[in-house]
């Protein structure tokens, strides 16, 4: 049972000193309860209170950071089994695996993909997140050379993949102090690997054999050695078994508080099939069901883009919808006579409305207002899509310079405010559009004629 804000507040100094950056102790407590602030933010916390709270407030799944600086990624830290219960917090990451058996052209190609596989969608920067560097040959020199090449070519954090602690040690040195993910500790090499992880402040992946009880035992030893940042590989290499293990790991961590399984995971769809399309489909499975680091054979744009968008969907906060940037969106080269429509900046509303406008083939100006990401009806109900907000938006957004006419089409569901808006929006006529987006094309066609 997570602590409530009140439980936390009781342990705080109750001084409202504001030194934590939050005006009151209760507000600070609420932030901790919501996972938006850390206990360490309070400089006046008594030691007893700190230990009482940190025990109880420690997340059931540890958030692990891979890499350093701007490009570092954080995975894990999840609190729920199903995204509707709260949200999935730290988006999973992908990595194309480069190995030292590849020819130079292949390596260059993969490095290029790693750097260029970036898309901007709904104001979010979509990219893989990591790059895998694997020693196939077992030759330390070849491995370090490859690591140096990758390091020079990209700032993306690495996953260093080799079962030989000596090669990993060399690799870590070659990588510099960049906190790459070490892959992987096994029952045979864990002592050396744990020591390397501690020495280089690098997170450590632990590779199991498919047996979760054995994995728990192994992780226990590695934790005992002092390693805190761990990533779990259940060790299976077919999607049916992997799914089962990932479900059990997540459940054990959240429901049974099994500390040894309270870590992010790493999965290998690239090793579960030869077919790159199926590899992407399996990767999709792990986006939804509990994969944190997902290893791929490449980042071909036509396959990467759908995967990144799937991740974006699954990791959207269900209670905090995605938003698009407010402003004027011209669709299909509109002119000074084209219709002007207004809608909310809830990304789904925007996508559907703009899609239907585009589909109508009637060029139009779509004015997207800042409704804090709420849909049309919800934002209207919340007083964010009402005449007093619309008037300054329309007057200020610059649409009056773009069109000659003064006719504004509002969503059909907002018919009740048409009169009030027309009164307040000087110089404009307000027209009530369709209630459903699907009816926009005929509406625009008749508008245009």
Partner 1 sequence: MEVKETYNGKIREATIGLGDTAVTVGGETSLPLYMFEGTAPNKPVIALEVYDTKPEDWPEAAVAPYADVLDDPVKWALKCQDEYKADMICLNLASTNPSTGDRTGADIAPIVKAVSDAIKIPLIVYGTANADKDAEVMPKAAEACQGKRALIGPVEEENYKTVAAAALGFDHLAAPHSPIDVNIAKQLNILITQLGLAPERVIIDPTTGALGYGLEYCYSVMERLRLAAMTQNDSMTQMPMINQIGREVWKAKEVKTPEADEPAWGDAETRGVLWEALTATALIMAGSNILVMRHPKAVELTRQFVAALTG
Partner 2 sequence: MSKLIATSAIRGAHSLYNRAEAAYNAALAAKGADEPVSFPDTAYYLPVAYALLAIKVKTLGDIKPVLAKAKSMLPEIPAEGAWLPYLGNTLDSGIAALLSEEIIEAMKYVMGPNPVEGIWLGATDDVIVRTQGIKLVDGSMPGFAAVVGAAPTTEEAVKLATELRERNILLFMAGETDGKTMADQLNEAGVEMGWDVYLVPFGRDISAAVYALGVAARAAMTFGGITPAGMKEAREILMYNKNRVFAFVIALGDVDDEKYATAAGAINFGFPVIANTDIPQILPTGITTYEHVVSNVPLDKIVDTAVEVRGIKIKITKIPIPVSFGSAFEGERIRKEAMFVEFGGQKSPAFEYLRMRDMDDIDNGKIEVIGPEIDQMEEGKAYPLGILIEVAGRKMQSDFEPVLERQLHHLVNGAEGIWHMGQRDMNWMRISKSAHDKGFKIEHFGEILKAKLMDDFPAIVDKIQIKLYTDADKMKDVLEEARAAFIARDERVAGLIDESVDTFYSCTLCQSFAPNHVCVISPERLGLCGAYNWLDAKAAHEINPTGANQPIIKGETIDERRGQWSGVNELVRAKSNNSVQKVNAYSIMEDPETSCGCFECVVAILPIANGVMVVNREHTGETPVGMKFSSLAGSVGGGAQTPGFLGVGRQYITSGKFIAAEGGFKRIVWMPKELKEALAGQLKKRSEALGLPDFVDMIADETIGTTEEEVMEYMAKVGHPALEMDSLLG
176 sits near partner 2 (criterion: CB under 8 A): no
333 sits near partner 1 (criterion: CB under 8 A): no
Phi first, then psi, for residue 55 (nearest 5°) are: -60, -50
| Stretch of residues binding partner 1 (CB under 8 A), selected from 2-10, 131-139, 184-192, 249-257 | 249-257
Contact partner at residue 449 from partner 1, partner 2, none, CB < 5 to 8 Å by partner kind: none
| Stretch of residues binding partner 2 (CB under 8 A), selected from 108-116, 325-333, 358-366, 377-385 | 377-385
318 sits near partner 1 (criterion: CB under 8 A): yes
195 sits near partner 2 (criterion: CB under 8 A): no
Q: What angle do the packed helices 104-116 and 140-153 form, to 10 degrees?
A: 40
Structure tokens at 76: 């894990």
The site map against partner 1 for 116-155 (x = CB under 8 A) is x--x-x----------------------------------
CB of 83 to partner 2, least distance (A): 11
Single out the residue of 34, 56, 141, 247 in contact with partner 2 (rule: CB under 8 A): 34
All residues at 6 or more sequence positions from 233 whose CB lies less than 8 Å from its CB, including other chains = 183, 184, 205, 206, 207, 208, 265, 266, 267, 268
CB of 399 to partner 1, least distance (A): 23
Burial class (CB in 10 A: 0-12, 13-18, 19+), 67: buried
Contact partner at residue 9 from partner 2, partner 1, none, CB < 5 to 8 Å by partner kind: partner 2
- Which residue, among 295, 288, 241, 239, has the nearest Cα to 270 in the 3D structure? 295
Single out the residue of 41, 59, 210, 412 in contact with partner 2 (rule: CB under 8 A): 412
Contact partner at residue 400 from partner 1, partner 2, none, CB < 5 to 8 Å by partner kind: none
3-state secondary structure the chain: CCCCHHHHHHHCCCCCCCCCCCCCHHHHHHHHHCCCCCHHHCCCCCHHHHHHHHHHHCCCCCEEEECCHHHCEEEECCCCCCHHHCCCCECCEEEEEEECCCCHHHHHHHHHHHHHCEEEECCEEEECEEEEEECCCCCHHHHHHHHHHHHHHCCCCEEEECCCHHHHHHHHHHHCCCCCEEEEECCCCHHHHHHHHHHCCCCEEEECCCCHHHHHHHHHHHHHCCCCCEEEECCCCCHHHHHHHHHHHHHHHHHCCCHHHCCCEEECHHHCCCCHHHHHHHHHHHHHCCCCEEEECCCCHHHHHHHHHHHHHHCCCCCCCCECCCEEEEECCCCCCCCEEEEECEHHHHHHHHHHHHHHCCCEEEEEECCCCCCHHHHHHCCCCCHHHHHHHHHHHCHHHHCCCCEEEECHHHHHHHHHHHHHCCCCEEEECCCCHHHHHHHHHHHHC
The site map against partner 1 for 424-443 (x = CB under 8 A) is --------------xx-xx-
Contact partner at residue 422 from partner 2, partner 1, none, CB < 5 to 8 Å by partner kind: partner 2
The site map against partner 2 for 40-79 (x = CB under 8 A) is ----------------------------------------
Segment 266 to 295, residues that bind partner 1, using CB under 8 A: 275, 277-278, 280-282, 284-285, 288-289
Contact partner at residue 281 from partner 2, partner 1, none, CB < 5 to 8 Å by partner kind: partner 1
Q: Which is nearer to partner 2, 84 or 404 (CB)?
A: 84
Single out the residue of 102, 187, 348, 403 in contact with partner 1 (rule: CB under 8 A): 348
- Which residue, among 306, 331, 296, has the nearest Cα to 114 in the 3D structure? 296
Segment 312 to 351, residues that bind partner 2, using CB under 8 A: 318-319
| Cα 263 to chain centroid, rounded | 17
| Stretch of residues binding partner 1 (CB under 8 A), selected from 31-39, 152-160, 254-262, 403-411 | 254-262
Single out the residue of 73, 96, 212, 219 in contact with partner 1 (rule: CB under 8 A): 212
Single out the residue of 35, 109, 306, 412 in contact with partner 1 (rule: CB under 8 A): 306
Single out the residue of 14, 228, 361, 407 in contact with partner 2 (rule: CB under 8 A): 14
27 sits near partner 2 (criterion: CB under 8 A): yes
Q: Which residues bind partner 1 (CB under 8 A)?
A: 82-84, 116, 119, 121, 212-213, 216, 238-240, 243-244, 247-248, 251-252, 255-256, 258, 275, 277-278, 280-282, 284-285, 288-289, 300-307, 309-310, 312-314, 316, 318, 348, 351-352, 355, 358-359, 438-439, 441-442
Q: Which residues bind partner 2 (CB under 8 A)?
A: 4-6, 9-10, 14, 16, 22-28, 30, 33-34, 84, 86, 318-319, 378, 381-383, 412, 414-423, 432, 435
């Amino acid at each position: 049972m997570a602590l409530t804000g009140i439980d936390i507040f009781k342990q705080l100094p109750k001084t409202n000193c504001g030194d934590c950056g939050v005006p009151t102790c209760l507000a600070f407590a609420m932030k901790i309860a919501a996972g938006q602030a850390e206990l360490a933010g309070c400089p006046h916390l008594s030691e007893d209170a700190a230990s009482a709270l940190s025990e109880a407030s420690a997340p059931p799944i540890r958030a692990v950071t891979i890499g350093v600086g701007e490009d570092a990624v954080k995975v894990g830290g999840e609190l729920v089994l199903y995204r509707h219960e709260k949200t999935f917090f730290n988006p999973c990451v992908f990595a194309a695996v480069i190995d030292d058996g590849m020819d130079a052209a292949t390596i260059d190609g993969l490095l290029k993909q790693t750097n260029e596989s970036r898309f901007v969608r709904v104001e979010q920067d979509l990219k893989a997140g990591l790059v895998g560097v694997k020693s196939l040959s077992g030759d330390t020199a070849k491995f370090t050379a490859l690591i140096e090449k990758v390091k020079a070519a990209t700032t993306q954090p690495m996953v260093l993949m080799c079962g030989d602690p000596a090669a990993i040690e060399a690799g870590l040195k070659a990588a510099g102090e960049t906190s790459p993910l070490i892959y992987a500790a096994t029952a045979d090499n864990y002592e050396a690997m744990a020591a390397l992880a501690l020495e280089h402040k690098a997170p450590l992946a632990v590779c199991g054999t498919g047996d979760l009880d054995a994995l728990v035992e192994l992780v226990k030893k590695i934790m005992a050695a002092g390693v805190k940042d761990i990533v779990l590989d259940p060790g299976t290499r077919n999607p049916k078994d992997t799914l089962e293990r990932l479900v059990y790991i997540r459940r054990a961590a959240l429901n049974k508080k099994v500390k040894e399984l309270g870590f992010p995971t790493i999965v290998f769809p690239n090793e579960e099939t030869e077919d790159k399309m199926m590899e992407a489909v399996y990767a999709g499975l792990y986006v939804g069901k509990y994969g944190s680091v997902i290893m791929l054979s490449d980042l071909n744009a036509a396959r990467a883009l759908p995967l990144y968008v799937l991740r974006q969907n699954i990791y959207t906060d269900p209670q905090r919808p995605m938003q698009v940037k407010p402003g004027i969106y011209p669709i299909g080269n509109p002119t000074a006579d084209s219709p002007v429509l207004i809608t909310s900046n809830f990304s789904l509303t925007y996508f559907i409305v703009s899609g239907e406008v585009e589909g109508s083939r009637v060029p139009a100006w779509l004015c997207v207002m800042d409704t804090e990401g709420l849909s049309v009806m919800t934002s209207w109900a919340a007083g964010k899509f009402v005449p007093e907000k619309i008037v300054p938006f329309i007057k200020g957004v610059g649409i009056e310079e773009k069109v000659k006419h003064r006719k504004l089409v509002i969503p059909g569901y907002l018919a009740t405010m048409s009169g009030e808006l027309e009164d307040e929006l000087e110089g404009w006529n307000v027209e009530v559009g369709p209630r459903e987006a699907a009816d926009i094309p005929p509406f625009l066609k008749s508008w245009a004629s």
